[in-house]
Amino acid sequence: MNKMDHDTSRPPQFFKGLRYNSISNYLKDHFGSKTIKLSIDGGFSCPNRDGSKAFGGCAFCSDSGSGEFSSNIDDQIELYSRKWPSAKYIGYFQNHTNTYAPVSELREKYYSILKDPRVSGLAIGTRPDCLPEDVLDLLEEINKDHFLWVELGLQTIHEATAKNLNRCYDLEEFDRAVSELRKRNIRTVVHLILGLPGETRDMMLESVRYVSSIPGLFGMKLHLMNLVKGSSMAHDIPEYVSFPDIDSYVELVTECLEIIPSSVTIHRLTGDARRDILISPIWSFNKRTILNRINDRLNLLDTWQGKPRVRRGVQ
């Protein structure tokens, strides 16, 4: 790990007034203006839903495949441009598994978005077990001429938890996917969920440490485990609450940020479920309050992303 990743003297200058390396600031620097993701439903399915590996999807996933905010990109741009008239846009294939189709279909869908002059790049959410060689070659081709990142939904490194989630791939498959993307110089973002049933604080921090050790990792998403309507988890354990209050969640996220190298862009620090499908935690719909509390705690402790927590023995 290089010296910049754990500079204990002061937060790196590229944090831009925050105490973590936000993707928003990164994109503004990269493209020269505010850059917004447009959530796209590409009409894909998932091997956990169509019977290839299982039915019903991952236990935490809603009917929409965790893409509740997808809509027509013209409508999204019209809405955003009222507030940010000079904004740029990235097409975000979000719902379900967005590399799970024949490569000819993927090519048509990806390039149909990239042909739009208002779109500056792509973000593609997928599973590590849905990256065959021909799909990787297509992604490499796109990456040579366009801005691109690929998001992998890992959620946890613990196999027992993954089995209970109906994830249907192992950690070795994830490691292989990360290695193949890295060979092709494709930016990679990894999703983790904090508060999965049966996981202790130490288990969650182990997952963060594991992902943080990936060489050249571009980004990380830390999701708050939201129980939502339409998920199998809501059916099986309807009373489940991942964190009892904001404070307990904020404290954990603060420690996670100290583990993550400062070079890694942070794409999410909480959940983002619509209020009409959210079951628990009931306080989690107020995203702005959670983010403000995280910033407040980082300021209170005078800590930041990548700063070792020596007082707790984390080097």
Q: What is the pLDDT of residues 265-298, one digit of tens each?
A: 999 999 888 889 999 999 999 999 999 999 999 9
Name the strands in the sheet holding 265-268, side by side, starting at the edge strand that comes first in the sequence: 35-40, 88-93, 119-126, 147-155, 187-194, 219-224, 265-268
Confidence (pLDDT) at 215:
97
Confidence (pLDDT) at 310:
59
Q: CA-based angle 21:249:234, to the nearest 5?
A: 115
Q: CA-based angle 185:15:24, to the nearest 5?
A: 65
Are the C-beta atoms of residues 154 and 203 closer than 8 Å to each other? no
Residues with Cβ < 8 Å from 208, sequence gap 6 or more? 192, 222, 256, 259, 260
Under DSSP, is residue 36 helix (H, G, I), strand (E, B) or coil? strand
Confidence (pLDDT) at 70:
59
| Residue (of 3, 4, 5) closest to 212 by Cα position | 5
Confidence (pLDDT) at 243:
97
Under DSSP, is residue 283 helix (H, G, I), strand (E, B) or coil? helix
β-strand pairing of 187-194 with 119-126: unpaired
pLDDT digits (tens, 9 = 90+) for 35-58: 999 999 999 999 988 899 988 889
Are the C-beta atoms of residues 223 and 193 closer than 8 Å to each other? yes
Residues of the chain below pLDDT 50: 1-8, 65, 67-68, 311-315
- Which element (helix H / strand E) includes 39? strand 35-40
Count H helices, E strands: the chain? 10, 9
Confidence (pLDDT) at 55:
86
Most distant CA atoms of the chain, gap in Å:
54
The CB density around residue 313, as the number of other CB atoms within 10 Å, is 7
Per the DSSP assignment, residues forming a β-bridge with 88 are 35
Confidence (pLDDT) at 9:
52
Confidence (pLDDT) at 312:
45
